[in-house]
Structure 1
Amino acid sequence: MRLIQALSLCLALSLSLAAPPQHKEDHSHKGKPGGEGHKHELHHGAQLDRCKGMEFDAVAVNEEGVPYFFKGDHLFKGFHGKVELSNKTFPELDNHHHLGHVDAAFRMHSQDSPDHHDHQFFFLDNKVFSYFKHKLEKDYPKDISAVFPGIPDHLDAAVECPKPDCPNDTVIFFKGDEIYHFNMHTKKVDEKEFKSMPNCTGAFRYMGHYYCFHGHQFSKFDPMTGEVQGKYPKEARDYFMRCPHFGSKTTEDHVEREQCSRVHLDAITSDDAGNIYAFRGHHFLSISGDKFHSDTIESEFKELHSEVDSVFSYDGHFYMIKDNNVFVYKVGKPHTHLEGYPKPLKDVLGIDGPVDAAFVCADHHVVHIIKGQSIYDVDLKATPRKLVKEGTITQFKRIDTAMCGPKGVTVVIGNHFYNYDSVPVMLMAKIMPEQQKVSQQLFGCDH
């Protein structure tokens, strides 16, 4: 009897192990025109790599200006970094299992309507979710028709168009080749025809420009007419993602990508001759007068390989900080790596890494180091070198990089930069300086 029971138990276990895993139900709907099948196929545990090329379901910017790229039930935040489940940030999106993935999304910008300003809207099938500061608003989700009357279900894309870009605060909705302009105040819908645009599978407004994503390419368009000007479409991985092993092939394409990329800089500096060097991911851009050059970091700084935290120029040398190490190169053609480096950052400058920025102003011998909101000074002629806290930056919670040049201190955050006459002025400033665009006003990109 015991033998029979034992055999029965073994048989039951073997059948259980052999049974196929149970997947959650797939609530898919019709594919987006011009793209891959628009199905909710990407379940928990899927390994997604945006650098391999993918058609995003929706793109939007959060209230801090960070772009969110949605794919299936996953989300990419910013221009690089690993994928995560979208319900980690927006748990309610997963509470309605009859709904698919995010079809469209936008962040409303409206100074005239505080009830909508900085609210994020997500569209799933026939429902709309409204979030404010990552919290779902009361009584949401609602039917799309209840919040945006005249707008169809199962959208392809959406993007906000605030005044003065549009005559009134407007949301542009895309479904196939149908375009709807929705007036946020009157609730009136105007149907448009954007003849020169491809069908958008995602759309978003970034740095005052409007982008239509189609497949893994994008086009910049006029929100009122849909007119696409310039050389489009372009490859999204060249401009909106930091992909180490992907890039255009020609020197001209390399330069344009680094000039016009929307990905934030890791480091920037200018040498004694006034030439600017900017570093982003695995690439760098150098500017000498009106001449531009771009290549991989490894091509000219092979010991460093890629991705620096900060770079500063002093006495004809580049000091390149990566994690807790300092690499030093003599400026020239080619740049010469100094023997004995890298050395520990703590030994060279008396501070632990990582640091956000480091710079030396012309004819000075003090390096200013920014870490978080604190700025420290190190006298490079002193022996031993001593770290001294100079002050606290109050106008910014964080910065990406900074440099010092003929125009003073340039602070870079995202695709914007701000100029200060000096470090003391930056620390004491009460009024924010003019916001300028890195890609256009610093690097001369024409779009």
Structure 2
Amino acid sequence: MHNTGNPDDHDHIYFFLDNKVFNYYNHTLADGYPKEIQEDFPGVPTHLDAAVECPIGECITDSVLFFKGNDVHVYDITTKTVKTKTWSHLPVCTSATRWLEHYYCFHGHNFTRFNPVSGEVSSGYPKDARRYFMTCPNFGHGGDYKIRKCSEAKIDAITSDDAGKSYIFAGPIYMRLDTHRDGLHAFPITRAWKEVTNGVDAVFYYTNKIYLIKGDQVYIYNTAAHYTLIEGYPKTLKEELGIEGHVDAAFVCPNEHTVHVIQGEKMRAVDLTATPRAVTQVLPMSLIGIDAALCSAEGIKVFKGSQYYNYESPRTLALSRIAPVPQNITKAMIGCEE
């Protein structure tokens, strides 16, 4: 359990065996366990095949999906009620997991991605788990991403959201890092943002939305709804931000309402609260050839080729006549080879 509103459940692991449930925290069995499944999860049957947590926003309420044969028992964590659905089109799951807001049913050595509310199966499934979820001899990763040397790395765009998730774009792929515990994972950009092809020029996050800039187009996606493109988009840079021309990088600092857009030798500040949006400040850039930029509580990282520079603020980035000592992109940052 990770997303439940009850702190007593957070980071607890539940095992189901026959008619019993075991509750572990920090590898220690909680007091009073094992229990009958009905004691903790009334209405849920015994001898289950699989179970997976589904937080509100992805399911209608904070829930757990329990699988038994073709039946799915949706347990509401708050009300402790159960609704049973039959998904005969979905293979019988021997295990299930939630990963990066997607849901996977494992059956044999295959897996199938499904919608946790409707049970709808995504196109292209089932797939072989040995190509994706584990390292097996003679089985490669199912994506097109190839690990490169760090000295050859180049980031096209980078941003992070309010939850601390980082998104790194390089060519036709993006890499997402939720936590260092979960690790860095690479996917085709079109998997999350199907309308954007052949890479992006810049990206920034603002008020639960992610802005992707490609050429003279701005695509805005609602991050709370599996990256749904907002109606009416894409729009031109002129329409959305009041600027024209190629964008090298863009960033918004935490708790601020200004996007800083780097275009060659200029950095333009655009007030995101204004209607229509317009440039409020233009500063000259001493560092040119920038590929990407990220602003956090620790300052600004500016990426250029396989190196990056640390600056304290947007103003020091623009006005510093002497660049900081460059640092190399590391394996921990984007999963490249040393």
TM category, shorter: 0.5 to 0.7
Would the alpha carbon gap of residues 312 and 324 (structure 1) be closer, same or farther in structure 2, given more than 3 Å must change?
Answer: same
Q: 1:271 aligns with which of 152, 161, 168?
A: 161
One-letter amino acid of the counterpart of residue 237, structure 2:
L
Match of 2:317 among 426, 429, 441: 426
- Which string of whole-angstrom CA distances, capped at 9 and with x for unpartnered residues, describes residues 127-179 of structure 1? xxxxxxxxxxxxxxxxxxxxxxxxxxxxxxxxxxxxxxxxxxxxxxxxxxxxx
Alpha-carbon distance in 1 for matches of 2:279, 2:144? 42
Measured on the aligned residues, the alpha-carbon RMSD in Å equals 2.3
Q: 1:432, 1:307 → 2: CA distance?
A: 28
In structure 1, the partner of 2:307 is 416
- The alpha carbon displacement at 1:363 in A equals 0.4
**2:156–2:170 contact (8 Å) kept in structure 1:** yes
Task: Give a deviation string over 1:192-220, Cα, whole Å, max 9, x none.
Answer: xxxxxxxxxxxxxxxxxxxxxxxxxxxxx
**Bigger CA drift: 425-434 or 371-380?**
425-434
**1:8-19 map, 5 Å:** none
Instruction: Tell me whether 1:281 sits opposite 2:171 in the alignment.
Output: yes
Query: Partner residue of 2:69?
Result: none
Stretches of structure 2 lacking an aligned partner (at least 5 in a row):
1-138
Give CA deviations for 1:96-153 in whole Å, capped at 9, x if unaligned.
Answer: xxxxxxxxxxxxxxxxxxxxxxxxxxxxxxxxxxxxxxxxxxxxxxxxxxxxxxxxxx
TM-score by length of 2: 0.54
The answer to whether the aligner puts 1:356 opposite 2:248 as a matched pair is yes
Distance (Å, rounded) in 1 between the aligned partners of 2:151 and 2:208: 29
Query: Contact 1:374–1:389 at 8 Å: present in 2 too?
Result: no
CA distance in 1, matches of 2:143, 2:330: 16
For 2:229, the equivalent position in structure 1 comes to: 337
The match for 1:402 among 293, 303, 306 is: 293
Distance (Å, rounded) in 1 between the aligned partners of 2:278 and 2:307? 32
Change (3 A) 1:322 1:261: farther
| Residues 345 and 351, structure 1, Cα contact 8 Å, conserved in 2 | yes
Q: Decide whether aligned partners of structure 1 residues 259 and 341 sit closer, same or farther in structure 2, where only a CA change above 3 A counts.
A: farther
TM-aligned CA deviation for residue 446 of structure 1: 5.4
The residue aligned with 2:273 is: 381
Q: 1:34-62: per-residue Cα shift (whole Å, max 9, x none)? A: xxxxxxxxxxxxxxxxxxxxxxxxxxxxx
- Number of matched residues? 198
Residue by residue over 1:248-297, the C-alpha shift from the partner in whole angstroms, topping out at 9 and shown as x without a partner, is: 9416984x727858242211111111211111111111111112111100
- CA drift at 1:445: 4.3
Query: Which residue pairs with 2:238 in the alignment?
Result: 346
Match of 1:292 in 2: 184
| Contact 1:258–1:284 (Cα < 8 Å) also in 2 | no
Identity over the aligned pairs, expressed in percent?
38
Structure 1 unaligned regions, length at least 5 = 1-247
Specify the code of the residue in structure 2 equivalent to 1:433.
Answer: P
Q: CA deviation at 1:312?
A: 0.4
Inter-CA distance 282–378: structure 2 relative to 1 (3 Å threshold)? same
Q: 1:142-221 to 2 correspondence within 5 Å? A: none
Letter in 2 for 1:419: N
Alignment map for 1:75-86 (pairs within 5 Å): none
Q: How many Å separate the matches in 2 of 1:427 and 1:307?
A: 26
| C-alpha contact 2:147 2:336 (8 A) present in aligned 1 | no
TM norm structure 1: 0.42
Q: Secondary structure at the match of 1:410?
A: strand
The structure-2 alpha-carbon separation of the partners of 1:381 and 1:269, relative to structure 1 and needing over 3 Å to count, comes to same
- Please say if residues 326 and 345 of structure 1, whose CA atoms lie closer than 8 Å, have aligned partners that are also in contact: yes
Would you say the 8 A contact 1:251–1:294 is kept in 2?
no
Query: Per chain length, whose mean CA-contact separation is higher, i.e. which structure has more relative contact order (CA < 8 Å, sep 6+)?
Result: 2
Deviations 1:65-96 (A, max 9, x none): xxxxxxxxxxxxxxxxxxxxxxxxxxxxxxxx
CA contact 1:274–1:405 (8 Å) conserved in 2: no
CA 446–305 in structure 1, closer or farther in 2 if over 3 Å, else same: closer
Q: 1:407 to 1:446 in 2, by over 3 A?
A: farther
- Write the distance in 1 (CA, Å) between the matches of 2:140 and 2:208: 32
**CA offset at residue 388 of structure 1?**
2.9
Report SS of the residue matched to 1:326: strand
Tell me which amino acid in the other structure corresponds to 2:219.
Answer: F
Distance 1:384 1:341 in 2: 16
